[in-house]
Structure 1
């Protein structure tokens, strides 16, 4: 079997945290809320931007479309956040990573131009290089699977983003061990033409055009185009440029709906995404000035579609969904972060030492990622005539085929390295909701899934695996009143095993095992005070087995020795995965909204997380001692998981100043957290402020905004196990990628 290298397009044509209450206070607060009154409503924003009104529990519910039975947000026995169109706009978000912090216990890692590696409750990947990855957080856009492709998760013309926390073992199986993010685009509507444009700091420009029409009772369409461009937030002093870490993103969507008759309907969603971003993010001085002489790039061109056929007859529905996506990705960077002359007339000058203290290398990864999926569902809706509202159930079958091909071109590799990773998933699943009485409901879900995977590469290594899994949930709901629901949930998730690529690994480390998770959760949802206050809250415990932990041998380019064994940088990196024994995670999440006053709306999101390894002995940790006899690993037992901050929260308010003007103020805070399982370096905590002033009259909308008003440095990716600065003779030190600085901007929209 040969290497199936894909046809790749020319690269250029790519289309100090505030102290939170202790655990006892939080738990007491949740219980107090539960017994002091009742809440169940939804926090969907009102149709007019300037109206801040109480809403009834029966009108305008936010529906979780990722759930099998399309449950309302506050009626679903699970932890879910919905970020709607208004929140996306207020946060000036053009990409998914810019609204993730609005949801409790959700974090992300950059390591690219965008934060495309997502963690939910401390579970998720942080980077991708040579190794094929089974992702822990699924990403779906209009039924199209973009898991592992979140660099293209643009938010133009988006109706809502649903963030489901905890394993989604019934609905998405192996694709959603930690949770799921479901992006829903706006649907066709009657006669709409909308244009918007914006300008911001760093030469930022955005544009969106939307045209929608309900042609007749049977057929409607919506087509949209959006783009975002910016020079980025880095100055390259070597090249005297300020655009080497730029953003250049555009996309188009087409949504079609056709109702053939009263029983049968078709809908289609089509997306095209073209990302051509620069990647020059790391500075030897840990600031926004870089020295790279060969800036990298982060590119993605994606074409995808989903088609849904739905047949309704009485209380039954038959739904068939076919989806495919084809993506070309190019990711590259200047590995040395410097230039050959950086040592001229300095202590590291080779004329002074007799040999060169600097190196120069460039690393490039070209991937093709394509997959298709087919999903059949037979749904029995509850009967209104039945006692207690009747029962509901779903039976389904799912098939998915994915192929990922890689070519790596690297300065220190004589030949390009290529590999292929092909996976096939097939599953049977079902869910049954039983109303025991008018107050009690039991919901059970079960999924059986088979995964087959093949891996082969240009070094002649081939391996395959076939695995079987089961996952699901059992939830008990108690409707304490028409205004309050409490629930208990047990759910089980999984993801398949995988393969390591390096020939330097012993044979018993060339593959690693599947990972499993049990999630236990209790929650309270509801509304008080004539729907003026809405609440979602939960306490959870997660037990993970055979954690897939990413490790890396860091070896000297000069002699191949590991740093722990006496080697020195400049360095080479060999990533691989191993299975840690397990981890335990406890947490609390609260989302609350208050609309008691006609002129103000207050909201908050609070998350606490306590996550620790059960047992992990790391021989690749920077503090491991490989010179000892026998070698001594670094003990990570009891240590906090990487990218799992112990607290994070958002507090905000909307103020109606008069009939035309509104003011939004938002405060965001995140605790510090470890950046990797390989070292002890942490991202600092941060507190940032945002403000938006908006004017609306008739069809016009005008907004002035400021993001990160205090210009706080936010670490979104970091290293702590090697040295890369020749001026310091490559001594070990931490390096950080910084997030968005202070941004000032203006945006206008007009709608016909």
Structure 2
């Protein structure tokens, strides 16, 4: 897959402008603190490949969900198969769907200290001040659910003076947004913040059978609340609450591979979450702080879709080779997740020994009810996991400019599973991860680092009794990550650059496969059994580059580039679409790209302060084509998207006209290959795709007080 001239030219132009012209810049790029580490750390001081997406980027894109800004982070991807991009991948590692089986996530998702891993549909951006993307294993800090990396979403904190804002927006496809935020003190020691928001839209699909245009509607409400109590300089208590009510439609696939469907039962993608966290930070002595974090999230999830993508009488209106079928598949999940994290963090001055020691506990319970047309009594399961971990990190100054950082985590995990088919599993395992990093500060204060880190993801099981015995369980996956990086600024802080080179070595790669079997001896409908197995190994190598430059008081330039070359090692698949299992000939995936790992990904843009009040922001983002799965050869197409915002900003109010994907590019966000679902052509196998957002133009207005 070749890099397009537009990609390289746009990125090179932006970087050259920053490097050459920033010398005369009168101001600096804002310094950013990353909060996901053990202690808040400057972005240029953190020895790891990290992206921070700030509140301005979220606002300037009129983004209401994480997936609408995630492409600005290099080597980060997402998949849909739902109303939102709710499954995330970092450096080509991460889940892409969930149906019957419980999943062990590879990418962690934390929202204000609340563990939302695996339920990314609720990653709304109301009042989010920054999104921190940590690439590579977080084996010391977060353990088994962050083998590929971590996404940490942080909302606004209570303020010392009363302030707030009200925003409304309208856009194409009957899109309406409204939000309000208010924050301030209740007393000298107590502050609060409350944010409320709603998003409504008809969505981007039409249904020709039902004659509707809202079969993929968006209906999302978010409420966030924070209270901060600081009775003394040594004690701070933060209480956070989150409520999500999501009732989205889902009708993503069309027999004709268009945005017009023929389904008689459009699906849905629903989530109701009540969650909260309590964080206590106490300076127990001059030597260390005690930090305690308790979080709990209860989520009721329902995901359903029209399996045949058609109406029952389709063969009366079209000439069909085979008689059609009609079915609906629905998954109702109750997900309860509780975490407790206790840690001691040293209060070390720069150049002194610093350390962290902690204990972690996680309890998750997930109950599933599957309601399927061809399962008269339905299917139910109960799944619970209990994880306990001890971890520590030590930073040792070796000389004036050198620091050695070592971290280690030991995690024990017990799982219990039982379902209505009589399957019972009780796996238990011990895992370990950590890191070793060598940091060097040169005479100009630039950070150079070398890093080796180990991540892990728990093994598991496949519940379907139709699978052979040797496919019922799969092993723990491990990942070694080796990274070299440099972070620095120049021209009095007007230019900031971050670059990382990495190599990742995966062992016992957990990968999704599927088997297809007729139901009740019929050719169709077909029963697709998804299951997880281990490939022998896999590896990836690549680069991440980010540049921010304040050219002058009117012009700011930003750019990012991600490159990755990934492949399976020694993986023979009998369930790949091109395998020949009847003759014992598998499909050789050795050397094959990993799914959802585009070879390049970029974003480049500029913010122009045209006058005292008028501004414009222009962005181009792009991505190479990538494989959707290791089960077939369906790929997305490479694309470049143009985004624009033009606004007028006064002291207390702002109005802006914005557009995303202004050239109306077709973007595939989920795909199935070698799949037959159309009776009109005899269920001939062909690829099918779900499409991302088309061109959309809108108008926002904000009042601040």
Shorter-chain TM range is over 0.9
- The whole-number CA distance in structure 1 between the counterparts of 2:639 and 2:2 is 6
Rounded to whole Å, the distance in 2 between the matches of 1:569 and 1:599 is 63
**Which residue is equivalent to 1:341?**
313
Residue 337 (structure 2) aligned to one of 360, 365, 371: 371
Q: Provide Cα deviations, 1:33-84, integer angstroms capped at 9, x if missing partner.
A: 9xx99x9xxxxxxxxxxxx96227xxx5311111012211110000100001
Are the aligned partners of 2:655 and 2:699 in contact in 1 as well (CA < 8 Å)?
Answer: yes
User: In the TM superposition, what whole-angstrom CA distance separates every residue of 1:362-384 from its partner, at most 9, and x where no partner exists?
Assistant: 00000001011111111112136
1:514 aligns with 2:499: no
Q: Is the 8 A contact 1:483 1:528 kept in 2?
A: no
The residue aligned with 2:348 is: 382
Q: Is the counterpart of residue 219 in structure 1 residue 190 in structure 2?
A: yes
Equivalent of 2:665 in 663, 687, 712 = 712
Query: For 1:147 and 1:376, how far apart are their aligned partners in 2?
Result: 20
Q: Is the 8 A contact 1:225 1:253 kept in 2?
A: yes
Shift of 1:506: 1.8
Q: In the alignment, which residue of structure 1 is the partner of 2:80?
A: 110
In 2, the alpha carbon distance for the partners of 1:570 and 1:185 equals 46
Q: Does 1:210 align with 2:181?
A: yes
Match of 1:622 in 2: 577
Q: Report what 2:296 is aligned to.
A: 324
Matched with 1:70 is 40
2:639 counterpart (672, 681, 686): 686
Report SS of the residue matched to 2:44: helix
Q: 1:431 aligns with which of 390, 393, 407?
A: 393
Q: CA shift at 1:20, angstroms?
A: 6.8
- In structure 2, the residue matched to 1:182 is 152
Structure-2 residue corresponding to 1:696: 649
TM-score, structure 2 normalization: 0.96
Q: How does 1:297-312 map to 2 (within 5 A)?
A: 297-312=268-283
1:120-171 superposed Cα distances (whole Å, 9 cap, x missing partner): 0000001000011000000000000000111011100011000000000000
User: For residue 233 of structure 2, what is the aligned residue in structure 1?
Assistant: 262
Hey, what's the Cα distance between the residues in 2 that align with 1:211 and 1:700? 15
Confirm or deny: 8 A CA contact 1:401 1:424 kept in the other structure: yes
Contact 2:505/2:540, CA 8 A, preserved across alignment: yes
Rounded Cα–Cα distance in structure 2 between residues aligned with 1:61 and 1:381: 22
Q: Post-superposition shift, 1:481?
A: 2.7
Alpha-carbon distance, 1:520 to partner = 0.1
In the alignment, structure 1 segments of 5+ residues that lack a partner are 1-15, 40-51, 561-567
1:570·1:730 contact (CA, 8 Å) conserved in 2? no
2:442 is paired with a residue of what secondary structure? strand
2:630 maps to 1:674: no
In 2, Cα distance between the equivalents of 1:638 and 1:236? Answer: 41
1:419 to 381, 400, 403: 381
SS at match of 1:737: strand
**433-442 or 726-735: which moved more?**
433-442
Task: State the SS of the aligned residue for 1:87.
Answer: helix
Q: Which consecutive residues of structure 2, in runs of 5 or more, have no partner in the other structure?
A: none
Between the aligned partners of 1:714 and 1:137, the Cα distance in structure 2 is 23
Q: Does the 8 A contact of 1:571 with 1:722 survive in 2? A: no
1:595 partnered with 2:568: no
Query: 5 Å matches for 1:467-616?
Result: 467-557=429-519, 559=521, 568-616=523-571
Match of 2:539, SS state, is strand
Cα deviation 1:516-573 (Å, max 9, x = unaligned): 000000001001112111101000000000011100002234636xxxxxxx554220
- Deviations for 1:299-358, whole angstroms, at most 9, x for unmatched residues? 00001110011111323100111110000000000000000121224321xxxx7xx610
Contact residue 7 and residue 602 of structure 2 kept, 8 A: no
Q: How does 1:68-467 map to 2 (within 5 A)?
A: 68-189=38-159, 190-312=161-283, 313-348=285-320, 357-383=323-349, 389-467=351-429
Does residue 728 in structure 1 map to residue 699 in structure 2?
Answer: no
TM-score by length of 1: 0.90
Distance 1:305 1:406 in 2: 23
Higher mean displacement: 523-532 or 289-298:
523-532
| Other structure's SS at 2:582 match | coil
In the alignment, the residues of structure 2 paired with residue 375 and residue 78 of structure 1 have an alpha-carbon distance, to the nearest angstrom, of 22
Q: Retained in 2: the 8 A contact 1:425–1:449?
A: yes
What is the alpha-carbon distance in structure 2 between the residues aligned to residue 218 and residue 369 of structure 1? 36
* 1:569–1:731 Cα contact (<8 Å) kept: no
State whether residues 570 and 723 of structure 1, in contact with CA within 8 Å, keep that contact through their aligned partners in structure 2. no
Q: Deviations over 1:658-699 (max 9, x none)?
A: 000111000011000111111111111111100000111110
Matched residues, number: 696
Contact 2:567–2:594 under 8 Å retained in 1? yes
TM superposition outliers: structure 1 runs of 4+ over 4 Å: 20-23
CA RMSD, Structure 1 to Structure 2 (Å)? 2.1
Given that 1:17 and 1:687 are in contact with CA atoms closer than 8 Å, whether structure 2 keeps it comes out as no
